[in-house]
Amino acid sequence: MIRETHITLAHGSGGRATRDLIQHLFLEHFSNPQLAALEDYATIGWPPGSNSRLVFSTDSYVVKPIIFPGGDIGRLAVHGTVNDVAMSGARPLCISAGFILEEGLAIDVLRRIVQSMAAAARSANVTIVTGDTKVVERGSGDKIFINTSGIGIIESAVALSMTKIVPGDKVILSGTIGDHGTAILIARGELAIESDIESDTACLSGLVKAIIDMTVSSNAVDAIRLMRDPTRGGLATVLNEIASGANCHIKIDEERIPLRPDVAGACELLGLDPLYVANEGKLVVVVAPELAEQVVHAMRQHPLGRESAVIGEIQHEPHGFVAMRTAFGGSRIVDMLSGDQLPRIC
């Protein structure tokens, strides 16, 4: 049920309100199996009727500020959609770019963002093949919003799905959490904090390829159950989506979750729980226990996976929940985010 009568910032937070809006409005009217899977992408048999599969994903980017330590809205828009496509196990091929510009945006700023998109696309090995530009009057937008949609192709037998997750499976995380969201909040300059924290925005398709290649050569493609990038709503939101979607319990271990000391410090100052803070270059993999060690090993060979570690396990009960063994040896429930922790983080 949607309790509110009007859209609030919480509807864009990636948490409970976003989920309610998706389930009780978009899914109700757009109902079809691809959307109902609640993944960040759709899988389409291509050419129709063949076994070959194409992946399609979309995301709009409204991050504020548009230029921040470690990146800008253009770089983020390329990486974000390429990553959503890659989470299916696909190789991203091409993306679209739709711009909504506010009257008065400096052409030099636009040029810088476009150059940054072009560079990000080159290094992600995708082509920006089609686009669109709209302009809205001053005060009807906020400098620049970018939509990117992406197409990829699944070249292996990999078929990831919530439904494959079973108790005993391991949860692997590729690196530190909270870097992107913390960098954005500090860059807004509303809080007088100085730091060297940069967004972790990065293209994850190389890391995904390393994982898929390893499982293909081990003849164990089915051992990879699901991949997700913990963006808006952070690690906690992705784990809750998995616990709820796979109807399982997830137990994670706080001490095993990599966290930069300066991000930990900034989150404490800002009153944020890093578990809920957005990442833009991290990967969560759910994998069969017998392959977990090999997957971690393969991930650590990749520059974006150096700190990969098993951070938890899928258990049977109490299903639908995520629990965390804290650094002090206690246990706490890691719930879905209710309010709007961080608007316009991506």
For 63, list phi and psi in degrees, rounded to 5: -55, 145
CB 225 within 8 A of CB 161: yes
Which is nearer to a second copy, 189 or 329 (by Cβ)?
Answer: 189
Structure tokens at 332: 């706490």
Which is nearer to a second copy, 67 or 94 (by Cβ)?
Answer: 94
Which is nearer to a second copy, 107 or 333 (by Cβ)?
Answer: 107
Q: Is 147 in the site for a second copy (CB under 8 A)?
A: yes
Cα 230 to Cα 173: distance, rounded to the nearest angstrom: 10
For 16, list phi and psi in degrees, rounded to 5: -60, -40
What is the residue type of 42? A
Which of 83, 149, 182, 215 binds a second copy (CB under 8 A)? It is: 149
Least separation in angstroms between residue 52's CB and a second copy is 5
Least separation in angstroms between residue 186's CB and a second copy is 19
Q: Is 120 in the site for a second copy (CB under 8 A)?
A: no
- Distances in Å between the Cα of 117 and the Cα atoms of 66, 97, 108, 147, 210 are 13, 9, 14, 12, 24
Long-range contacts of 26-30, Cβ-Cβ distance < 8 Å, separation of 24 or more: none
Q: Is 338 in the site for a second copy (CB under 8 A)?
A: no
Least separation in angstroms between residue 284's CB and a second copy is 19
CB 208 within 8 A of CB 287: no
Which of 15, 16, 56, 184 binds a second copy (CB under 8 A)? It is: 56
Site string for a second copy, 5-44 (x = CB under 8 A): xxxxxxxxx----x--xx--xx--xx-x-xx----xxx-x
The span of 107-115, 214-222, 298-306, 325-333 binding a second copy (CB under 8 A) equals 107-115
